[in-house]
Structure 1
Amino acid sequence: MKNDLIAQNQNSTIIAQYHFTPRVSKSYQSEADLERFLLKELEAQGYERLTLKNTEELENNLKAQLERLNNIQFSQSEWEGFYKEHIANENLKVEDKTRLLQTDNESLPFCNDKGEHKNILLLNKKDPLKNHLQVLSQLSNDSGKAKNRYDVTILVNGLPLVHIELKKRGIDLKEAFNQIRRYQEESFSASHALFEFVQIFIISNGTYSKYYSNSKRDFKSLNDNYTFCISFSDSKNNKIEDLEDFTKTFLAQRTLLSILTKYCVFNTDKELLIMRPYQICASEKIIDKIKMAHSCKLYGSIQGGGYIWHSTGSGKTLTSFKTALLATQLDFIYKVLFVVDRKDLDHQTQKEYDKLEKGAANSTNDTKELKRRLESEDGKILITTIQKLSNFIKKYENSKVFNEEIVFIFDECHRSQFGAMHEAIIKKFKKYYIFGFTGTPIFTENAGKNYTTDLESKKLMLKTTQSTFGDCLHSYTILNAIKDKNVLPFKVSYLSTMQQKDQENKEEKVSRIDTEEALMHEDRIKKIVSYILETFNRHTKRQNAYTLENQRKQGFNAMFATASVDFAKKYYAEFQRQIKANPQKEPLKIGLIYSYEQNEDLDEPCKDEMSAKAFLSEAIKDYSRCFKESFSLEKFDNYYKNISQKVKDKELDLLIVVNMFLTGFDSKTLNTLYVDKNLKHHSLLQAFSRTNRILNEQKVYGNVVCFRDLEKDTNESLAMFGDENASSIVLLESFEVYFKDYCQKCEELLEHFKLENIAHLTKEEQKAFIKLFNEILKLENILSVFDEFTEERDPLPKRAKQDYQSHYLELYRDFKQTQEKESIAEDLSFEIELIKQNDIHADYIIFLLEAYRPNTESESKKENILKLVQSSPSLRDKTELIEEFLNTIDNNKNVDFKSSFIAYIKEKSQQELDSIIKEENLNADETKDYLQDAFEINFFKDQGKKIQDLLPNTNIFTKGSYAKRQEAIAKLKAFFEKFQAFLKKEEM
């Protein structure tokens, strides 16, 4: 069998196209067979094969490799000093080690025995091929919480920078991901924590192979999620998944070293981002185009540029940022200008760039500052609006920069980059390279009536993305993005909100009625607002939380796109009216934002008494009162920035908009878009795409609810920016399809796994039960947002579902504790994240307690509470605690459950903590402070200097001292986990 790489640039990271040869099915392939193949293939590709038994031998090899890379010979004392300070320093966190590898100034200071100062490289980023690659397998690490053996590790200059976890064919790939997570918890931080230097994790079951970054774990990073694992591909977006193909491409030395040294970004949130293949390909295409155009003197023409068509939500900011950085490294490039078409995007882009690398790019407040920065030798990347750039051209027409070689990167080039300002820029600058990024290009079909004069033929031609920027250098459509699971598909509902009768007294759809008077009728507005308020928790997956605070934590939030400012005003007023009319419910936090004409016509009959400006001013006052802020219309920019952040932080439940926020705004927490607005072509897809950013495993689609019949426009838009069959992939199936499958699986569950028999299942039957219940959970997660999915229609009774879930969690606990290499757990994937979505929090326990009053039914109510607790992943281990409390109030009919429960938890936690402090001889004050911080950030860090300082001083060489300290830490962690759901910092 032969797999060829075709049309590959020797310097390209992403191959042009991979030739796949159909594979003939072979005999059974075990995990060991996969490992042997991988090692043999890497050796053939030039990797040095190592046989190391333990981490001590790993450290010795590291010394030799750093000596080779730096052309130096360490004495034993020199090495011990350097190693202890820069490599094995216990104060270095995972993010500190990543920073050492990913910052441009990656050399480390070193002073030898003679007092001479030198710089030591860990990774040669300037000349990647000078780094030395080694591969080893089955390295043992016995120093952590559990003994582990790692499948395959790739060393770069002796440091483990790539770790590969394998599973045999047929096993769920997620199990490899889960195993790496277990290693991170149990042993990667042990033995001088060399495995915390890992930058890339690779998981493969032979059939599928993916990669992802070793990002931070202290605060439950979003990247620490199986959803964010990446598939490799060629430049045509063909996935390269089989381990054999993946090894020949991704693990080729040039490719792997290029990704490690050029296509990783360590952002200011201390997260390591690895670029996806289409992002790398786009960057390389642009850089190659610049080099070619410079060489052939094609700058200043359309032949020296092009555009990138990457689906909305596929990471354009990271692509453009890395492209800009790489362009500044070309010695003939004077500046790189990132051009946006709105003032709010100027701020947003600066913020996003700052998040990737603080200070790498600079925005400008006005034209004067733009001139200063353009003419300064400092700061090679500038962010500006097209308006400021146009003003600069008019005001400073003799500036020296017009003769410099400048790269222009236009953001969202589908919008307003085709006008007079754009033409003025390309006429004035003599040596420009112009590139555009868009998720929805302007083609002839959606160009409208925008014409320009072709310079060669002198004929009128439509202004399209291609006619303005040049050829498409790389495309990655929404179809590609959804197939690769880089963005989510859409669930689109079309709801008829009014009907009219024709001459034959037959009803017709709302699409036939298109007059503003009918659409703005107050009865229709009331009906839509009432529907949104009634269904909001279901649409945003908040329905299982019993306080608004927990609803925001558990679920998502929404945006409402309205047809005009007048519509927005009417909807906002009606929301406020209906919310005030129902004071017994905790109100949703609703915001409003739009742009308005400064000199609007107040005499038009359709206008309200209050002008758009005055109405927005009052809405901003409402917002300020709600969040205890002091915003005003005069400081609109500050209001815009704040409301944008409130949406991203899930503090705002619903944002009403007209045009703003429907393009260029990204929030992973937003899952629902309500639409009462005519949309088509690129505008429709841009608006819908506000909902489909990946967040976690509970968010499986973007939910779009249309109050107008946009079905035809939706299908046309998907055909234009995907293909004519795109709707079958981009849109979810109907409710009936999922519900039928769900009913069949529930019927199978009730028939084959009767509750009374679950405890007696064999291992194989347990596996079948887990797999079936997983499928039910996934389908329920999809169905939960459909209006048709009610409790009455659910074939699985609520009580039975709780009992099945309790058994499911018990099996999960048992299998998790089984850590033998060939454990049954390795054949299983537990969908615990989907249960957590429906988690029962402490507030719900109090809610249940209020219903629990000592009477003739008290025992059944008590049993019901305990069953609910047992079916919750976070409360299951607290069953005994809650049962003890219930026993204390059996004979008290007038008890205040909330205050009693809180008092009981405080007393119980204090008793247990005092007992631990006394038993382990801990520093009382520091221990309480440490736990207060843990409860505040909702995370217990069981390693590091701070927790070691809580423990009594002991001689580390005394037998059993290490085990004694670990036992004390384990007790504190168990205490934290027991009371985590009930205690906050101020309650300790």
Structure 2
Amino acid sequence: MSSGNEYNYVEGPALDVFESLGYEVFDANLVDEFPDNRKKLSDVVLRNRLRGAIERINPWISENNLNKAVKEIVNVDGVTSMRINKKVHGKLVKHNVSLKQDRGRGKKHQTVKYVDFEDPEKNEFLVLSQFEVAGLNETIKPDIVVFLNGIPVGVIECKSPTITDPKKKAIDQLLRYQNNRNGIKEGAEKLFYYNQLSVASWGDKSIYGTYQTPKSEYTEWKVHEDKTKEKIKNELGKENLKSQDILLYSLFEKKRFLDFLRNFTVFRDKGQDLVKMVARYQQYRAVKKALNRIKKRNKSDKQGGVVWHTQGSGKSLSMLFLSLKLRRIKDDPTILLVTDRQALDRQIKSTFEQCGFPNPKRAKSIEDLRRKLKNNTGQTITTLVHKFQEKDEEERFPVLSGDKDIYVMVDEAHRTQYKLLANNMREALPNAFYIGFTGTPIEKNKRNTRRTFGNYIDTYTIDQSIEDGVTLEIFYQGRLADLHLDGVDLDKVFNRVFQDKTEEEKKEIRKRYAQQQDLSEAPRRIDNIVLDILDHFEQKISDPFKGMIVTTSRRAAVTYKEKMDKYNGPESAVVISGDHNDSQKLKKYTPTDEGKERIKDRFKDSSSDLKFLIVCDMLLTGFDAPIAQVMYLDKPLKEHNLLQAIARVNRPFEDKNYGLIIDYYGVSDNLKEALYKFSEEDIKRCMTGLEDEEVVSRLEAAHRKSKSFFKGKKIDNSEGCVEELEDEQRRIEFNKAYKNFSKMMDILLPSKKATPYLKDLEKLGEIYTRAKNRYRDDSMNLEGAGEKVRGIIKEHITTKGIETINEEPVSITDGEEFENKIEELKNNKSKLKEMEHALRYETNVRFDEDPVFYKSLQKKIERLIEIYKKRRLEEKKVIKEFKSMIKAIRTREQEAKKKGLSDSTELAIYNTLDESLSIDQKELKEISKEITKKIEEEKTVDWKKKVSVQKDMRKGLKLYLYQKPEVNLNKDEMNHLINKIIKLARTHY
């Protein structure tokens, strides 16, 4: 069962939403049995419900084929669990199961449908709470499981909003359920063979992913496209909407869930690597709006529009989802995917192919593109815009197709859609519907993305992306201004070297050979920059994060590589394109296409020693490596090229708080110019200066908040401050504030502007760690605080003799060690608090070992504390009572022997029987021994996962107890007692 807060705040309200959506709901808190007809706990498909749905959706099916159709879902095999998941999705969505049956015209293959996508009400939607599933090594009990026609398609893990870091706890539990942690088989993997959506919810906020979604990619669902919040409130009967309500309503409303399953879920297959992806809310919203624009298209209006989603928010997938939907709702639409670079053309075709999109074709030449557009309909074609070229003899580009069902999607629409090639494309396809996808739209007199394509279909700004956690905030720092070459001194040198030349000749030499690029590539300048990069990387960037160095030319990239090696820097690799006329030196460092792929894979791998990529033009667009945290920029990028480049470091990764741009070229003015088209609201967190007033102000605010929990106390007094954190909710709030302070320190360190706060960081770290240990608060953690900050805290606390951040609190059963720890405390109040929380912790974690014994201890603790708080009992007397309780916990085995029992297991059974039966101690002891013996005889290997063994055990225990005349229990009382005994057996064996 869920805890009270968890059920009241999260699980119960979630079940209410499902009930409002028309689902059949079974709440474990309200009903005793589920309608699951399972033979064993490892069965996850509800077979009877699956059979009923197949019969309802396929009324023609014979009994024999019905059995086969059920087996097709229940017994799915595959090399990996993700391959199985993909197979299941195919059976549900693509109807790729066919069975031979005579329907009056001889035996033919008949398609079996497991889901009716056209009529949602023909399907059965069911929700079960606390659904128990046996895995390889443990039995799990997810809070909520969603079934579609008896198939478990959704898992929701609920956490109380009153605990610390409910997000981390919920996602960690979902990932553990899914089976693999550090190579150890855990959880119940089979449940997730069928999983389409996984949700982590803590009431105030809910986030979702799908099977094997990385922790950092779970995201919130912010809006509902079709209905206002007021309408949703009315439908759900709620006064206020929380994140959980919006997410569940948006994703699990029957029609939308089926749409999501069918059109917004894809598998990206890269050979050995198979990744499942589902749409984010901005992608779903953009597709819905684009389809609505298509539906309302009018010849007098511009045929199209712009989807402006900031860099890193998944534009390519939006194009894929829109294409999938168009193929579904239109008769043979032609889809043309246009890019302006070979790499992007290859990439987008590869993305569509890897995600299972049917037969995308790449235009190989100008003639091939014309042929495909002229003669074929219903194709999906990828092409470069450059293939819309005119022949010499043609005055005007020819019309290739007047079809209206041609949909042109232009990736990076801000770059090449304003000149002759783009005009040719519109001449060739005059009635097509054009959609531009961009992360950096342009709005200038001559080049204007919106004027070219039409008004915005959907926008998703930089700040929205950061707020959603889809991208990270980027910080900017200009460095080494003093290394720029002095123009006056250079002129003196130049005039002296070329004094024999005329002024005209000098002018020409300057024009050809003394451009800013040539000056910036001076080896001595690069020498100094590389030394600075290495110092900065060592001080600022922690494992496993990596960096990119962007240079002015291929030649400069090679120079950087040589200097990195000269100064024993971490492993680096050059990624540049090659040319037949290249020098031997350039050829030496130019990787092959296969080599580039290997380098990219190694860079993305956190276990690889490759720490730096050195590039010129390549990998500045379309290259996603979340592990990249810093870009060292030594290139005069402008406009969209600059914005796209810096977005390489804005992808989320575990423990990554921000992206960082170190500017050696001086592009800040270019950045301002590039950002001018955005509103101030859109870009307030785009490339903030690393030491800007705003950042320091945020640090100051976080520092004040962290200290505000200890008003009237100096934080040097760590004992007094720890006492201030006794209240759980106060600890939760302090934990949040302290983590935010740590994060801001991580961003600023090792800047001198962070130095004044270091001592307080150390002192607050000591308070944090002591509170974690005293209150046995495992939910307190420093995730996201940054390696540097953790290092500072750990080092400081070690020197003070306090447990380090990774040590567990000392258990009261550790005898001498615990006694020593208590004696180290300076006053009785501290000793009392330490013992109280140690006892609370032990009685909680050991409760299931002997509920009767530990429940009595818990009541005694509460009674003592209540009396103490009313000042009717001295601290010394409470401490004495606590010591006697600690002794009782430590001497459980001796207590068992005193009663004539063999061990603490028999003692736990004895206590349970004693609570339920009114018989003398001698008889009670004999019954306890006999029950223990019977359990040990019945239990087999993995007996806890075998329902049949447990049934036999229950039956045997009941028969034995009914034969004892002194055991005078009715049927319900007997069942209740047997349940307690079986639960004890599951704990002890």
TM superposition score category, shorter chain reference: 0.5 to 0.7
Q: Kindly report which structure 2 residues correspond to 1:779-794, keeping only aligned pairs within 5 A, or say none.
A: 779-784=741-746, 786=748, 788-789=750-751
1:795 matched to 2:758? yes
Partner in structure 2 of residue 288 of structure 1: 292
Change (3 A) 1:871 1:242: closer
Q: 2:547 aligned to 518, 536, 557, which one?
A: 557
Q: Output one character per residue of 1:72-125: Cα deviation in whole Å (capped at 9) or x when no partner.
A: 7886x8776654553155768354134322565234345799999754333234
Residue number in structure 2 paired with 1:463: 447
Aligned equivalents of 1:869, 1:36: Cα separation in 2: 39
Q: Distance in 2 between matches of 1:764 and 1:662?
A: 51
Question: Where in structure 2 are the equivalents of 1:548-587 lying within 5 Å?
Answer: 554-560=544-550, 562=551, 564-565=552-553, 569-570=555-556, 572-577=558-563, 579-580=565-566, 582=567, 585=568, 587=570
In 2, distance between residues paired with 1:181 and 1:645?
24
Q: CA deviation at 1:320?
A: 0.5
Counterpart of 2:220 in structure 1 is 230
Contact (CA 8 Å) 2:209, 2:217: kept in 1 or not? no
1:47 aligns with 2:30: no
Distance 1:276 1:435 in 2: 19
Residues 100 and 106 in structure 1, CA contact (< 8 A), matched pair in contact too:
no
CA distance in 2, matches of 1:541, 1:363: 42
In 1, Cα distance between equivalents of 2:738 and 2:206: 26
Aligned to 1:68: 56
Q: Distance in 2 between matches of 1:786 and 1:101?
A: 46
* Equivalent residue, structure 2, for 1:325: 324
Closer, same or farther: CA 40–289 of 1 in aligned 2, 3 Å: same
CA distance in 2, matches of 1:98, 1:559: 39
SS at match of 2:274: coil
SS in 1 for 2:387: helix
Q: Which runs of 5+ in 1 are unaligned?
A: 1-27, 217-222, 448-461, 504-512, 543-553, 599-612, 625-630, 632-636, 817-827, 841-859, 877-956, 967-988
Q: 1:962: which partner in 2? A: 942
SS in 1 for 2:147: strand
Verify the 8 A CA contact 2:638 2:671 in the aligned structure 1: yes
1:669 equivalenced with 2:627 (yes/no): yes
Contact 2:139 2:188 in 1 (8 A): no
Shift of 1:321: 1.2
Q: Is the 8 A contact 1:304 1:434 kept in 2?
A: yes
Aligned partner of 1:180 in structure 2 is 174
Shift of 1:170: 4.5
Q: Which has the larger radius of gyration?
A: 2
Structure 1 counterpart of 2:781, one-letter code: F
Aligned-pair CA distance for 1:680:
4.3
Instruction: Assess, with a 3 A threshold, how the Cα gap between structure 1 residues 959 and 105 changes in structure 2: closer, same or farther.
Output: same
Deviation at 1:365, TM superposition (A): 3.7
- Displacement of 1:591 in angstroms is 1.0
Mapping for residues 536-551 of structure 1, pairs under 5 Å: 536-542=537-543
Q: How many angstroms apart in 2 are the aligned matches of 1:202 and 1:152? A: 10
The answer on whether the counterparts of 2:335 and 2:378 sit within 8 Å (CA) in structure 1 is no
TM-score (norm 1): 0.64
Shift of 1:410: 0.9
CA distance 1:70–1:727, change in 2 (3 Å): same
Once the two structures are superposed, the pairs formed by residues 549-628 of structure 1 within 5 Å of their partners are 554-560=544-550, 562=551, 564-565=552-553, 569-570=555-556, 572-577=558-563, 579-580=565-566, 582=567, 585=568, 587-593=570-576, 614=582, 618-622=585-589
Alignment partner of 1:97 is 2:85: yes
Tell me, yes or no, if structure 1 residue 384 matches structure 2 residue 383. Answer: yes
Shift in Å, 1:439: 0.9
Change (3 A) 1:319 1:360: farther
Residues 587, 180 of structure 1: alpha-carbon distance in 2 compared, 3 angstrom cutoff: closer
Deviation at 1:493, TM superposition (A): 0.9
> Deviations 1:563-587 (Å, cap 9, x if unpaired)?
x43xx5346425514632x4xx464
Distance 1:149 1:668 in 2: 33
In structure 1, distance between residues paired with 2:261 and 2:461? 26
Contact 2:49 2:150 in 1 (8 A): yes
Q: Secondary structure at the match of 2:389?
A: helix
Aligned position for 2:7 = 31
Q: Does the C-alpha gap of structure 1 residues 84 and 733 become closer, same or farther in structure 2, counting only changes over 3 Å? A: same
Query: Alpha carbons of 1:662 and 1:106: their partners in 2 closer, same or farther (altered >3 Å)?
Result: same
Q: In 2, distance between residues paired with 1:274 and 1:800?
A: 44
- Distance in 1, matches of 2:154 and 2:124, equals 13
Contact kept? 1:168, 1:205, Cα under 8 Å = yes
Query: C-alpha deviations, 1:291-321, integer Å up to 9, x for none?
Result: 443xx5x3xx872222211111110010011
Indicate yes or no: 2:349 matched with 1:355.
no
With over 3 angstroms needed to count, the CA separation of the structure-2 counterparts of 1:803 and 1:118, relative to structure 1, is farther
Could you list the per-position Cα deviations for residues 717-776 of structure 1 after superposition, in whole angstroms to 9, with x for gaps in the alignment?
A: 445224357325763774534654676688899988999979998994788668756655
Q: How does 1:71-150 map to 2 (within 5 A)?
A: 71=59, 83-84=70-71, 86-89=73-76, 93-102=81-90, 104-109=93-98, 119-125=111-117, 128=120, 130-141=122-133, 145-146=137-138, 148-150=140-142
Q: CA deviation at 1:150?
A: 3.6
Is contact 1:489-1:732 (8 Å) kept?
no
Which amino acid letter does the alignment assign opposite residue 133 of structure 1? F
SS in 1 for 2:942: helix
Equivalent residue, structure 2, for 1:434: 434
Identify the residue that residue 205 of structure 2 maps to in structure 1.
Answer: 208
Cα distance per residue 1:475-519 (max 9 Å; x no partner): 11212212222111111112242289999xxxxxxxxx9966765
Contact residue 530 and residue 563 of structure 2 kept, 8 A: no
After TM superposition, the structure 1 stretch with the greater mean CA deviation from structure 2, 96-105 or 189-198, is: 189-198
* SS state at 1:559 partner: strand
Q: Residue type matched to 2:542 in 1?
A: K
C-alpha distance in 2, partners of 1:758/1:355?
A: 59
Determine the C-alpha separation between the residues in 2 that align with 1:210 and 1:393. Answer: 57
Moved more, 752-761 or 736-745: 752-761
Structure 1 residues 412-451: aligned runs within 5 Å: 412-444=412-444
Deviation readout 1:831-884 (Å, 9 max, x if unpaired)? 4576789999xxxxxxxxxxxxxxxxxxx9xx999x99976699x9xxxxxxxx
Structure 1 partner of 2:981? none
Pick aligned residue for 1:486 from 458, 470, 487: 470
C-alpha separation in 2, matches of 1:93 and 1:212: 17
- For 1:30 and 1:570, locate their aligned partners in 2 and report how far apart those are by CA, in whole Å: 58
- C-alpha distance in 2 between matches for 1:773 and 1:238: 35
1:654 is the counterpart of 2:612: yes
Deviation of 1:435 after TM superposition, in Å, equals 1.5
Give matches, 1:793-832, under 5 Å.
795=758, 828=779, 830-832=781-783
Percent of aligned positions that are identical: 21
Residue 197 and residue 490 in structure 1: after superposition, are their counterparts in 2 closer, same or farther (change >3 A)?
same
Change over 3 Å in CA distance of 1:117–1:593 after alignment to 2: closer
Task: Output one character per residue of 1:757-815: Cα deviation in whole Å (capped at 9) or x when no partner.
Answer: 79998994788668756655554455446463489877369999999998799799x77
Cα deviation, residue 532, structure 1: 0.8
Counterpart of 1:788, as a letter, is P
How many Å separate the matches in 1 of 2:682 and 2:457? 24
Q: Distance in 1 between matches of 2:135 and 2:570?
A: 53
- Tell me, what secondary structure is at the counterpart of 2:381? strand
2:257 is matched with: 256
Q: Deviations over 1:622-646 (max 9, x none)?
A: 355xxxxxx3xxxxx6666565555
Q: How far is 1:64 from its partner?
A: 2.9
Give 1:137 deviation, angstroms: 2.9
TM-score of the aligned structures, taking structure 2 as reference length: 0.64
C-alpha distance 234-767 of structure 1, shift in aligned 2 (>3 A): closer
Which of these residues, 693, 696, 699, is aligned with residue 736 of structure 1? 696
Instruction: Provide structure 2 residue ranges, at least 5 long, that are not aligned to the other structure.
Output: 39-45, 230-240, 488-513, 811-936, 947-989
Partner residue of 1:974?
none
Cα 1:393–1:424, aligned 2, differ >3 Å: closer, same or farther? Answer: farther
What is residue 825 of structure 1 aligned with on the other side?
Answer: none
Deviations 1:314-364, CA, capped at 9 Å, x for gaps: 100100112122223454554211111112222222233333226642324
Contact 2:90/2:96 (<8 A) preserved:
no
